[in-house]
A and B are shown apart, each in its own frame.
Chain A
Amino acid sequence: MEIPVVEKVLKLNDDIAAGVRKRLLAHHVCTLNIISAPGSGKTTLLERSFGELREDLNLAVIEGDPDTTLDAERIAKHNIPVVQIETAGGCHLEANLVDNALNNFDLDAVDLLFIENVGNLVCPCSFDLGETCRVGIVSTPEGHDKPAKYPRLFKEADVIILNKIDLLPYLNFDVNVFREYIAQLNPAAPVLELSCTTGEGLDQWIAWLKNMVKT
């Protein structure tokens, strides 16, 4: 007996994500879903951004990790509201986890919410979290071929950050090749080169963020 279904497998996640998006919009919260490999500098980039942003904007952070509250502890030291989601080994965040985490914030007192996804270049791409924008980060030690090997993130990202450019003199990372891959996959996405260690290029990122919140 054949029963036709024709239903999206991710329907439940997509429905919850639509609800999250509506909820965030109602409170005028701009939300970024930050995706990268582990160790590319997601948390450090946030820590380096707070100083410039907090004068004008109310910030909040959701941290996603398979285990520990280490990243949330780092964020909390800056007196920014933060919720740690421990996925118990899970390789990505899903919309229901974000929806629950939002209950811990006073959303009327948040202008910009950073969601730091679980470090992974593949799985998080399949799950809409209700974000306003998707941010992809690569750090130079990972190699310039990452956009070619993990194209979906770079295809969909609204902005792409190349972090740790202070290490370029010591690596075989070819910035032109990296940019060429991105240009082929996602010609509209800005590529911001920066270093959280030296601070070089952070001003472009801050300007991009402020513009995103404004619009």
Chain B
Amino acid sequence: MHELGLIRNVLERALEIAEAHGSLPVESVHLRVGDYQNIVPELFSFAFEAARVDTLAADATLTWESVPLKVQCDNCKTLYMPESLIWNCLTCASNAATLVEGNELVLDHVVLQEPETAVADTQGASVWKSR
């Protein structure tokens, strides 16, 4: 259940940004989450919905892009995308490799409501986007 702690960090940063921009309400928060991070999407959404209550992000949506694993073979330098954490090079069959992509856990951007339309009228929902 480390998702709750992580989402608090995300929310805190988003709220800092909102406050730095004249306390505009947060419309949406966008993350990039690598498959290496052991994140359960449903728990992330649930944690966000629990944490955002009574904040500038009370109506914000949470969106994230899933980043699949990409590794480079330590032996022959082939780049490949493994299905799991068991890595077998497609070229030389070595299982020693270095993670190149998929370890991300990044707050990519935050969308604030435009000042003139800053009226909260929608109930936020989480959106899962797979790459």
Question: Chain B's interface: helix, strand, loop or mixed, by majority?
Answer: mixed
Report how far A94 CA is from B5 CA in the complex, Å: 10
Counting chain A CB atoms within 10 Å of each CB, which of B9, B85, B108 scores highest?
B85
Task: Say how far A34's CB is from chain B's closest CB, in angstroms.
Answer: 18
A5→B109 contact, CB < 8 A: yes
Q: Is B31 on the interface with A (CB-CB < 8 A)?
A: yes
A9→B10 contact, CB < 8 A: yes
> Interface size class for chain B?
20 to 34
20-57 of chain B: CB within 8 A of chain A: 21, 24, 31, 36-38
New A-B pairs, 11, CB < 8 Å, besides A10-B105, A187-B96: A3-B21, A5-B13, A5-B108, A5-B110, A7-B106, A8-B105, A9-B10, A94-B5, A122-B2, A126-B105, A127-B2
Cross-chain pairs A/B with CB under 8 angstroms, 16 sampled: A1-B24, A2-B110, A3-B110, A4-B108, A6-B108, A7-B106, A7-B107, A9-B9, A9-B31, A9-B106, A10-B6, A91-B1, A92-B2, A185-B86, A187-B95, A188-B96
Q: Is B126 on the interface with A (CB-CB < 8 A)?
A: no
Task: Say how far A89's CB is from chain B's closest CB, in angstroms.
Answer: 9
B85→A3 contact, CB < 8 A: no
A123→B1 contact, CB < 8 A: yes
A9→B2 contact, CB < 8 A: no
CB-CB < 8 A to B105: which residues of A? 8-10, 126
Q: Is B113 on the interface with A (CB-CB < 8 A)?
A: yes
We find that the number of chain A residues with CB closer than 8 angstroms to chain B is 28
2-59 of chain A: CB within 8 A of chain B: 2-10, 12
Q: Is B17 on the interface with A (CB-CB < 8 A)?
A: yes
CB-CB < 8 A to A6: which residues of B? 106-109
Bits for A117-148, please: 1 = Cβ < 8 Å to B, else 0. Answer: 00000110111000000000000000000000
Task: Say how far B114's CB is from chain A's closest CB, in angstroms.
Answer: 6
Bits for B6-17, please: 1 = Cβ < 8 Å to A, else 0. Answer: 100110010001
Task: Say how far A179's CB is from chain B's closest CB, in angstroms.
Answer: 14
Report how far A63 CA is from B113 CA in the complex, Å: 45
Q: Is A210 on the interface with B (CB-CB < 8 A)?
A: no
CB-CB < 8 A to A9: which residues of B? 6, 9-10, 13, 31, 105-107
Q: Is B111 on the interface with A (CB-CB < 8 A)?
A: yes
Residue of B nearest to A123 (CB): B2
CB-CB < 8 A to B31: which residues of A? 9
Q: Is A184 on the interface with B (CB-CB < 8 A)?
A: yes
Residue of A nearest to B32 (CB): A6
Task: Say how far B5's CB is from chain A's closest CB, in angstroms.
Answer: 8
A185→B85 contact, CB < 8 A: yes
Residue of A nearest to B8 (CB): A9
Bits for A175-195, please: 1 = Cβ < 8 Å to B, else 0. Answer: 000000001110110000000
